[in-house]
Amino acid sequence: MLIKFINANVLNKNFDVLENYDLIVEGNRIKTIRPKLTNDDTTYDRVINCNGNYLIPGIKNSHTHNAMVFLRSMSDDLPLGDWLNKYCFPNEAKLTYEDVYYFTILGIMENLSSGVVGSMDMYLDNYAMAEASIKTGFRVNICDTIQKFNKKIAPEEYYVSLNNYKGDNGNLVKYTLGFHAEYTNTKELFERISGLTHKYKSAFFTHNSETKKEVDECKERWGGLTPTQVFEEFGLYDYGGGGYHSVYLEDKDMEIYKKHDVVAITCPGSNVKLASGIAPIKKYLDYGIRVAIGTDGPASNNAIDMFREMYLTTTLQKVTNKDAAVLNAKEILKMTMINGAFCLGHTDGDVIEEGKLADIVMIDVHKPNMQPLNTFINNLVYSASKINVKLTMVDGKVLYEDGKFYINEDEEYVYKKCNELLTYLLNR
């Protein structure tokens, strides 16, 4: 497939705007970016007229539990304990492969409508998640959610099978070693996963220091060591990785993150809604820590909306640092796109450049919230919303355009199916 975007404003690798450019996609790669060519004899499978809209690198959602859409808005405004124990855990215990498959597809649709081309997902059925990704054409990096109560703990099997799922060879689906969290695992599991990170020279991702309680209880269990320090003790971060949430890092933890290039993956929407706290992102940046952004699952957020997360990431730093000059739009885009691609293991899908993966989003500026066009990237971070996502292309294929999905599943069928599966789940 050869697709040409014309009359585009293109955000280049430095997030500067190239005005009135053509962009040509061949297969799943960006072939050419050049000023508008008036005489072009090539035959294209499709020519997409951008009408002055902007092409930006695909947004990456670096932490989510997509299938948790089924719990969206079921149990809000509750203390964290009640929310987890009365709603999440009992219902999650009933999930089937089919449930996780369809709920993940619904989550993928929500990602696409937010300009997201891939997510680092963690949930209860790795194969159902992989299948949803292959079916829809959406990128996923499946981080394992091993915990001591699991029936099936098979990281080595997953590592082999999911990094080449049905011949995909890591193009759409990747698998990353990880586990749920310190407090849901055991010394034996730490050792086992650490062994695998060394065997495969692999990164390791997990929930880390989301709440103060989590850190305090870990320190009680481990003679004063924080989760980060425990993970370092076991060599889990020897090949890098990431900490989902990373709200309560101590100075020593930050040194460990910096030393091993562990990514602090912030989920500000979830953290404020569950009253967990506000991560000191400005301080992490001062330490030289790499930061990426995720939505967390829709049960705690309740949206998969990376525009909201980008806005929250910067504004919450401004208000907590009492300084409106902290964290500008370019820094946020770097976290979302470049560092997001790093987390997902798709570093050649980070920016728009010839030869890079064709993971591209068209931002509609023919909407009042993007006018006037003073500074596009500021409009993008401080004013844009899902209403501005005109098209989402993943791996050279248009999966979302003008509000419609092209994901090998009918959208109304997915809504109906998800509501039916949920009713059935709640009643059994």
Q: What is d(CA 176, CA 149) in angstroms, rounded to the nearest whole number?
A: 20
Count of CB atoms situated within 10 Å of the CB of 293: 28
> Cβ 414 to a second copy, closest distance in Å?
8
Residues in 327-346 that interact with a second copy by CB under 8 A: 327-329
Q: Which tokens go with 301? A: 């957020």
Q: What is d(CA 29, CA 353) in angstroms, rounded to the nearest whole number?
A: 9
Binding status of residue 101 toward a second copy by CB under 8 A: no
Binding status of residue 412 toward a second copy by CB under 8 A: yes
Residues in 345-374 that interact with a second copy by CB under 8 A: 366-369, 371-374
Task: Name which of 201 and 322 has its Cβ closer to a second copy.
Answer: 322
Task: Name which of 260 and 417 has its Cβ closer to a second copy.
Answer: 417
Residues in 53-72 that interact with a second copy by CB under 8 A: 69-72
Binding status of residue 325 toward a second copy by CB under 8 A: yes
CB 118 within 8 A of CB 359: yes
Of 226, 326, 228, 338, the residue nearest 285 (C-alpha): 326
Candidates 127, 222, 382, 406; binder of a second copy (CB under 8 A) is 382
Q: What is d(CA 101, CA 80) in angstroms, rounded to the nearest whole number?
A: 27
Strand 173-179 relative to strand 139-143, pairing: parallel
Binding status of residue 379 toward a second copy by CB under 8 A: yes
Binding status of residue 216 toward a second copy by CB under 8 A: no
- Tell me the per-residue interface mask from 222 to 261 with a second copy, x by CB under 8 A, - otherwise: ----------------------------------------
> Cβ 377 to a second copy, closest distance in Å?
8
CB 244 within 8 A of CB 210: yes
Binding status of residue 83 toward a second copy by CB under 8 A: yes
Q: What is d(CA 428, CA 417) in angstroms, rounded to the nearest whole number?
A: 17
Binding status of residue 49 toward a second copy by CB under 8 A: no
Q: What are phi and psi of 160, to 5 degrees?
A: -75, -50
> Cβ 213 to a second copy, closest distance in Å?
11
Task: Name which of 88 and 384 has its Cβ closer to a second copy.
Answer: 384
Residues in 276-315 that interact with a second copy by CB under 8 A: 276-278, 298, 301-305, 307-308, 311, 314-315
Q: What is d(CA 257, CA 249) in angstroms, rounded to the nearest whole number?
A: 9
Binding status of residue 427 toward a second copy by CB under 8 A: no
CB 139 within 8 A of CB 170: no
Length of the chain: 428
> Cβ 372 to a second copy, closest distance in Å?
5
Strand 360-363 relative to strand 59-64, pairing: unpaired
Binding status of residue 319 toward a second copy by CB under 8 A: yes
CB 294 within 8 A of CB 309: yes
- Tell me the per-residue interface mask from 387 to 406 with a second copy, x by CB under 8 A, - otherwise: x---------------x---
Candidates 152, 188, 275, 355; binder of a second copy (CB under 8 A) is 275
* Side chain identity at residue 422, one-letter code: L
